[in-house]
Amino acid sequence: MRLVKIAPILILLSICPSLTADDASPATPTVEFHIAGKQPDDSAKLAVFHWGLEVLKSANFNTVNESQLLRQSVPLIQDHYRAALVSDYVLIRYDRPTAIKAVSGDIKVYDIVIGLARHDQVISSLFTVDDEGRVVSHEKYAGVLSHEVAKALSIPERF
C-alpha cells in the first residue's frame, strides 16, 4: 500500500476548505486505495478525494445523529465496518479532525471509508471515524461513482 499526501498548499486550500476547530489551517488529507492490484496515480487520487467528500456530504442519515431512527447497535455497526475493511475500499484520512457539512448535519471526521465490495459503479458502504474515535455508519447517500472515478478505480461502467 502506497500513501500519497495531496500536498501543495494551493491544492489543499482548494480541495479542503473545511477548517479544524483547533487551527485556522486546513487539515492534510491522504487517500489510500485498498483495492486488489490497483494503485492509481496522484490525479486519480485527487478525483477520488473530491468524489468521496461529495458522497459524505450527500449522506442523509448517520448513526450518531439519527441513532433512534436507524436502530443500529454498536456491534452491528462494527460488524459492517469490519466487513468493509476486508473487501475493497478507499480510505480518506485527515491528520486531525475536520468539520464537514452533510445533509445529516455537521460532523467531524478523521477517516472516511468508502466500501467498494459490489465491484460495480455503486458503493457498498460509507463510514467515518469521528473526532471521538467512534465508527459512524452513514445511510442514504449519492453512492454512484462518477465516470472519472470509475475510470480512476478501473471499474467498468455499467450505466
Counting every residue, how long is the chain? Answer: 159
Find all residues with CB under 8 Å of 71, minimum gap 6, and list them: none
Q: Is residue 119 helix, strand or coil?
A: coil
List pLDDT tens digits, range 118-157: 767 788 999 999 999 999 999 888 878 777 787 777 776 6
Mean pLDDT, rounded, of the chain: 79
pTM comes to: 0.78
Domain spans of the chain? 10-152
Burial 74-98 (b: 16+ CB within 10 A, else e): eeebeebbeebeebbbbbbbbeebb
Interval 80-105 mean pLDDT: 93
Distance CA 138, CA 141 (A): 8
